[in-house]
Structure 1
Amino acid sequence: MPALLLIAHGSRDPRHAATVAALVEEVRAQRPGQDVATAYLDHCAPRLPQLVHRYGPGEAVAVPLLLNRAYHAKHDIPAALRSAGSALPVADVLGPSPLLLAALERRLAEAGLDVRSAAVRARTGVVLAAAGSSDPAADAATRALAAHWHRTRGWAAVEVAYASATGPRVPDALAALRTAGATRTAVSPYLLAPGLLPDRIATAATATDHLARVLGPAPELATLILHRLDTTAPAAGLLAA
């Protein structure tokens, strides 16, 4: 069974690393005996170049803790691996996936929204509040996920907002939901761990009825990580779990 190397972005906010550590524990709970380590691109230790030398050829798969294929996935991770002289196979990013939508709904339920009720969903508009990216393809993927969530789960509307880069911002998206006929609103952060951007979203979401937590160590997220490991390992010629 190949080792799992999680690649996280990193943050100066200590809540970020604590949340990643909790997610690692959830992965281990779902698959006892799985070798799991975490490397960071910035701010936190150990950095990716410091850790990849632990693994020889065929011994590990790297799974990025990233929701979209944007700059970090396309440039930072490959560059860090090249600089370390590593040919470690790298799984696809986590999004999009139905498991992420299930995790988002878990967090909304924890915030007091009855997500199991079709009637509640039909009158509730949701803001999918993402980080935002300078990569148009990444933002397009977030919008496509929002459209799929709206279409398959019967929300009154689902609007995308961004905490950085260009708008719309959370207040704009909440206004659009009400214009679309939503009588209740919820803000669902499409982010993995606490930090500056989730705090910015929370500050902007004071007018909503429900504010969910970040995805964090949601069981669905751990399942998705293991799925990325299991699908990447055979493609790379490694023995999957």
Structure 2
Amino acid sequence: MKKFIKGRRKTSVFLIILFGIILCKHANAAIWYVYPESYTGGNNSGTSPENAFQGFISINGDAIQPGDTLILLANKGNFTNEVMIIAYKSGTAGNPILITNNNTGIPIIDSGYVLLQNASYFIFDNIRIQQSPYSAINMQDSVSNIVIRNCILTTSGQGIGIKSLTGDNNLIENCIITNNEYHGIGIDSNACSPGNETIIRNCIISEKIVYNKLCLRVDRVILKLT
């Protein structure tokens, strides 16, 4: 009986230490800021609105870690002709990387786009992309566990293009995808496994959805076909 109690104590201590490590990791999550490239000011470190990265090209991808937040500041104009490239970068299931806005308003990427390659566990929330010559958000190669939420994707070649070797567990939710030249959403994922499909939920889409390989699950979508 004493041995059993002693073993339980060791387990409890181990769990407390492990839980403490998890809390410390979450507490160290950083917030980064980025202004349009046309804005000049600050030291370009990305650590505060006053010293924000100047344009997507200035973002220090090595500094951004799982659990971090990247805030696109909207009060200095649009992100015009800027391309956000996210390649070989991932968050984790418990600590995704969030790209969103703050109280400066909804940031607009105008005539640019977002490109993800070999990336996973990113969340895009409350962003507008317009006038892109390609897909407003383009996913290539191995891209999985991407959430696109509360975004407006409009007047581009295509709203969202997913052409990946693997594309499991992607979610497109509460988005407005309208007035794009070709498709609202195009999906071509070669190795999507059953039960891990791309989910489109609570979206308004004014163009057709094109997909193959049965890698799509649609839930409560308003389609306005033109």
TM-score, normalised by the number of residues in structure 2:
0.26
Normalized per residue, the structure richer in strand is 2
Q: Radius of gyration: which is bigger?
A: 2
> Which of structures 1 and 2 has the larger relative contact order (alpha carbons within 8 angstroms, sep 6+)?
1
